[in-house]
Copies of this chain bind each other. A is one copy, B any other.
Amino acid sequence: MKFHPVSILAVGSLAFDSIETPSGKVEDVLGGSVNYFSIAASFYAPVKIVGVVGEDFPRTHLNWLSKRQIDVSGVNILKGKTFHWVGTYDHNMNEAKTLSTFLNVFEHFDPVLKAEHQESPYLFLGNIDPVLQQRVLDQVRAPKLIACDTMNFWITGKPEELRKTLTRIDILSINEGEAYLLSGERNLLQAALAIRQMGPSVLIIKRGEYGAALFTPQGVFLAPAFPVAEVVDPTGAGDSFAGALLGFLAEAGADREMAKHHPAQWDQLLRRAVLAGCVMASFTVEDFSLNRLMLLDKTHLIERQHALMKMLLV
């Protein structure tokens, strides 16, 4: 795959998930943050992924990814087993309960970027150790826009390192509960204020079935989730949200320069990118694993984005 001016480098996990929700139960299905992210982003822009899998990870899936403008040459295949997450959701689908985590080969994940990957203009730091997130940041040469995700585990486990990461990124996308944990606040506005002071100019607080709140220097945008008839499995909703978001921005060529020189345009693109994220997440949750995403085409996305925009029209 050739160098592309709007390509996205995404670093994170590839995994097997075993999940139980009120809608059913699946064992050892495909998952992982960079898996969800890259498929979602690839509807908008070329993606290069960096991750690690064990020998048990299906080559057929890597082949499937590489057929749709996703460069998998940064995926290391190591001796041993792939990262395995076991989780469950009760009727409150907004929060997963982790039953067990088998890091396996992911324990030794050390993202070393190929020369070509170091030139990527767009960067997504999936939910991994903030030390590794910084190691990736040290290797990219001139990123135009950096988005990042994190989770409770790192907020409480490596707060100092996470703070360092936050000073180096443009967009942070986290859950509402994580935003309260990170900020020490219990109020949306106060949490957003505190977190944006930690570094990220743009903050997106994901609110599960209630949508997402976007905070930019220009103001606040409150995006509703697209209501689906059945939430089968919320796993990957946040990562596919981030994929569509950054993909949308990359496709539009939106970056830090635009933020500086054309703030109104930047703000408007961010709003639409957040809606694209909500739409993508709404498809993700309609089935287990990547099942729904792998059957999507762009027409579905566009139709649903129009439908969602009608739901916030006054």
A residues with a Cβ closer than 8 A to B are 22, 91, 186-190, 207, 209-211, 213, 219-224, 227-231, 268, 271-272, 275, 309-314
Contact = CB atoms under 8 A, between A and B. Distances in A.
A272 B223 CA distance: 17
A272 B188 CA distance: 24
B222 A311 contact: yes
Residue among A209, A221, A222, A223 with most chain B CB within 10 A: A222
B314 A272 contact: yes
Given A207-B210, A210-B210, A222-B211, A229 B187 contact: yes
7 contacts: A187-B229, A188-B227, A219-B310, A221-B311, A222-B311, A271-B313, A312-B314
A309 B222 CA distance: 10
Copies in the complex: 2
Given A91-B186, A187-B231, A314 B310 contact: no
Contacts of A309: 314
Contacts of A219: 310-311
Contacts of A310: 219
A181 to B, nearest CB: 13
A231 to B, nearest CB: 7
A229 B189 contact: yes
A213 B314 CA distance: 13
A187 B231 CA distance: 8
Contact of A188 (B209, B223, B268, B313): B209
Contacts of A207: 210
B229 A190 contact: yes
Nearest to A224: B222
A211 B229 CA distance: 20
